[in-house]
Amino acid sequence: MIKRERKIDPVIIFWVLAIGYGTFLQRTLVGLKRNYETASNRILSDSSWYYRFTPELVVFLRECVAHGLEYLAQEPSRTLSERLSPFKDVLIQDSTIVRLHEKLAKIWPATRSRKVAAGVKVAVLTSAIASGPKSVALFAENTNELKTLKIGPWIKDRILLIDLGFYKYQMFTRIKENGGYFVSRLKSNANPIIIEANRSYRGRSIDVRGKHLQDILKDLKRQVLDVDVEVAFNRRAYRGKEKTDNERFRLVAVYNEDEDKYHLYITNLSQDLLEPQEVARLYGARWEIEILFKELKSKYALDVVSTTNPQVIEAFIWIAILTLLISRRIYTMIRRLNPRVNMVRFTQLRWSNIYSESASRILNAVLQYLGLDTSLITSFKISMSEALDPHVNRRHFAEEWWA
């Protein structure tokens, strides 16, 4: 990122960007420049600062995020409950869109077709154990959700909670073949054949074996339906040919009284591992990633990108992720200082408010640790420099009357 150290210090610029961008509401290059000048006790020219936002800076920030994700994974801040003790982790995959200027439509095309638009899809895989992201990747908005998640051996002994954007029997089968587990909502038009009932019912209950789901769903009177179903799907094409295959999964339907309808889920978690109501409650944990996206956007400026410079946009997005990682690291430290307090009381959104309010003190503490102490005189000099109109020859109407 920096070939020779002159006015820009790589350590200072890292902390100013990672803490100062989202939390200080300094969400422009000019605002960040002032933050850096205050932190480093140096006044910079505009060019020396703006030219620092290069593709190399983007690579540097992305590597910092990767390092932070690895660090969080090594120091888990949560433990799974006894019911989930057979598993290594519970993972949630989803994405959010950062809207961009239409001039960037060729680089990051949007899904809209009627109007020219651009957008970045920020795909996040979050971990319950780490209480934060496990992986982050950027895609064009029109990228299919399935292409943002690659299933492999890493899924072994882990549960993945996914929404309908990832609904594909081929993916479910790959998760199963790699020793992993998943829970997904069932598509409304899905009509698998029922091959086995996992529980018996008293009275004149209808026999559902051998019937398709849609044929019995409208007449269902049970509070819970727990069955095994068989689905047909096409394997990945090999040498231009697709092979049709069948797979067996578990289907759970739990009646929701508030909505007066069944919530249906498909999974490969057996009834020995989780009861039907537990499957439904576990899927409800997907709300956690929505909270994470809300935190990123409302507190750490993920979607504040008022520029058409591709390098600056990518840099700002990775900076927002870095801010989140630093926040979660301190969040874990705070919780460990209070081991007797129930961890669920340390809500993430409440913590994000606290962190945003105390970020300036945290940055000052980091800079003091690095041997830097901002003086009032330096602040005055920076304010005087930044307050001047950079257009030296511009005529001001007030010059005629007062000066």
Model pLDDT for residues 81-118, shown as the tens digit of each residue: 899 999 999 999 999 999 998 899 999 999 876 787 89
Q: Which domain holds residue 349?
A: 10-68+301-386
Averaged over 231-238, what is the pLDDT?
82
Q: Which one of 293, 323, 355 terminates a domain?
A: 293
**Same domain, yes or no, for 129 and 229?**
yes
**Same domain, yes or no, for 142 and 257?**
yes
Q: Which one of 293, 309, 324 terminates a domain?
A: 293
Which of the residue ranges 21-25, 107-111, 117-121 would you say has the lowest mean pLDDT?
A: 21-25
SS (H, E, C) the chain: CCCCCCCCCHHHHHHHHHHHHHHCCCCCHHHHHHHHHHHHCCCCCHHHHHCCCCHHHHHHHHHHHHHHHHHHHHCCCCCCCHHHCCCCEEEEEEEEEEEECHHHCCCCECCCCCCCCEEEEEEEEEECCCCEEEEEEEEECCCCHHHHCCCCHHHCCEEEEECHHHCCHHHHHHHHHCCCEEEEECCCCCCCEEEEECCCCCCCCCCCCCCEHHHHHCCCCCCEEEEEEEEEEECCCECCECCEEEEEEEEEEEEECCCCEEEEEEECCCCCCCCHHHHHHHHHHHHHHHHHHHHHHHCCCCCCCCCCCHHHHHHHHHHHHHHHHHHHHHHHHHHHCCCCCCHHHCCHHHHHHHHHHHHHHHHHHHHHHCCCCCCHHHHHHHHHHHHCCCCCCCCCHHHHCCC
391 — pLDDT class (breaks 50, 70, 90): low
Q: Tell the residue number behind the tokens 């801040």, with chain if given.
A: 77
Nearest Cα to Cα of residue 126 among 158, 166, 99, 97: 158
- Give me the CATH number covering residue 206: 3.90.350
| pLDDT at residue 206 greater than cutoff 90 | no
**Same domain, yes or no, for 101 and 131?**
yes
**Same domain, yes or no, for 108 and 97?**
yes
pLDDT (tens digit, 9 = 90+) per residue, 160-176? 999 999 999 999 999 99
Say what the pLDDT of residue 226 is: 92
Q: Is residue 397 part of a domain?
A: no
> Structure pTM?
0.84
**Same domain, yes or no, for 108 and 46?**
no
Decide: 233 and 173 in contact? Cβ < 8 Å. Answer: yes
375 — pLDDT class (breaks 50, 70, 90): low
| Total number of domains in the chain | 2
**Same domain, yes or no, for 342 and 315?**
yes
Q: Tokens for 378?
A: 């330096």
Paired with 194 in beta bridges are: 229
| pLDDT at residue 204 greater than cutoff 60 | no
Bigger pLDDT: 50 or 109? 109
Q: Is residue 391 part of a domain?
A: no
Say what the pLDDT of residue 22 is: 64
Q: Is residue 55 part of a domain?
A: yes
187 — pLDDT class (breaks 50, 70, 90): very high
**Same domain, yes or no, for 233 and 321?**
no
**Same domain, yes or no, for 97 and 129?**
yes
Residue 333 to residues 62, 330, 338, Cα–Cα distance (Å): 24, 5, 9
**Same domain, yes or no, for 241 and 325?**
no
Q: Is residue 86 part of a domain?
A: yes
Residue 294: φ, ψ to 5°: -65, -40
Q: How many Å apart are CA 303 and CA 297, to the nearest integer?
A: 6
**Same domain, yes or no, for 242 and 105?**
yes
- In the chain, the amino acid numbered 288 is E
Q: Is residue 401 part of a domain?
A: no
Which of the residue ranges 116-130, 270-284, 362-376 would you say has the lowest mean pLDDT?
A: 362-376
Q: Is residue 110 part of a domain?
A: yes
**Same domain, yes or no, for 249 and 176?**
yes
**Same domain, yes or no, for 229 and 331?**
no
pLDDT (tens digit, 9 = 90+) per residue, 285-320? 999 899 999 989 888 888 877 788 899 899 999 999
Q: Tokens for 161?
A: 């909670």
Bigger pLDDT: 392 or 156? 156
Paired with 238 in beta bridges are: 241
Averaged over 361-374, what is the pLDDT?
83
What is the side-by-side strand order in the sheet with 261-267?
A: 132-140, 118-127, 89-100, 158-162, 181-185, 261-267, 244-256, 224-234, 193-197
Q: Which one of 293, 314, 348 terminates a domain?
A: 293
Q: Is residue 363 part of a domain?
A: yes
Decide: 79 and 274 in contact? Cβ < 8 Å. Answer: no
Q: Is residue 187 part of a domain?
A: yes
Nearest Cα to Cα of residue 308 among 160, 114, 103, 157: 103
